Amino acid sequence: MQTMKEKLRNMASAAKEHTKICGAKVDEKVEKSTARTEEEKKIAKEKRKAKEHGAKTELHAAKAAHMAEKLNAKRAQQGPMVGTHGAPVGAAYGHHHGPLLGTHGATAAPATAAPATTYSVTAVPPAEKYL
């Protein structure tokens, strides 16, 4: 059920993106028809490209939000994991807090290690990658 909801929301977001792109193309044609110089026509083209990029960025952000909603709905259906006596699983053994996997006895990373890179959903990719 959640997968179908996600799929429908993604389709709606894609349709919204398509209408924004079409609107940007219409705006570009209007600006080009009223432009008097070649520079003004180039500016109109760049504005269209910027609007298209913004629409695509919004689409991907919406898709990520839909995926998160689906995941949260699935987790809400499952409920908390409970042991045989009503205590959370692992609580009887003293493991009721902290990370779940593979950190027992681990030490902190050395100070010379490079910081982890984080990426935003709405981040713009580097332009040189697509040249």
The pTM is what? 0.54
Are the C-beta atoms of 68 and 61 separated by less than 8 Å?
A: no
Can you give the pLDDT at residue 63? Answer: 94
Give the DSSP H or E segment for 98: none
- What is the tens place of the pLDDT at every residue in 40-51? 999 999 999 999
93 located within any domain: no
More confident residue, 21 or 120: 21
87 located within any domain: no
Can you give the pLDDT at residue 100? Answer: 46
Distance CA 112, CA 86 (A): 45
Distance CA 90, CA 111 (A): 33
52 located within any domain: yes
Q: CA dist 62 to 66, 87, 105, Å?
A: 6, 38, 40
117 located within any domain: no
Q: Domain residues for 62?
A: 1-79
94 located within any domain: no
3 state DSSP class of 32: helix
| Structural domain count of the chain | 1
27 located within any domain: yes
Instruction: State what percent of residues in the chain have pLDDT above 70.
Output: 60
Distance CA 60, CA 114 (A): 29
Instruction: State what percent of residues in the chain have pLDDT above 90.
Output: 50
122 located within any domain: no
Question: Phi and psi for 90 in degrees, rounded to 5?
Answer: 90, -15
- What is the tens place of the pLDDT at every residue in 5-25? 999 999 999 999 999 999 999
More confident residue, 93 or 32: 32
Where do the H-state alpha helices sit in 35-121? 38-78
Can you give the pLDDT at residue 2? Answer: 82
95 located within any domain: no
Helix pair angle (2-34, 38-78), 10° resolution: 170
Give the amino acid at 39.
E
3 state DSSP class of 113: coil
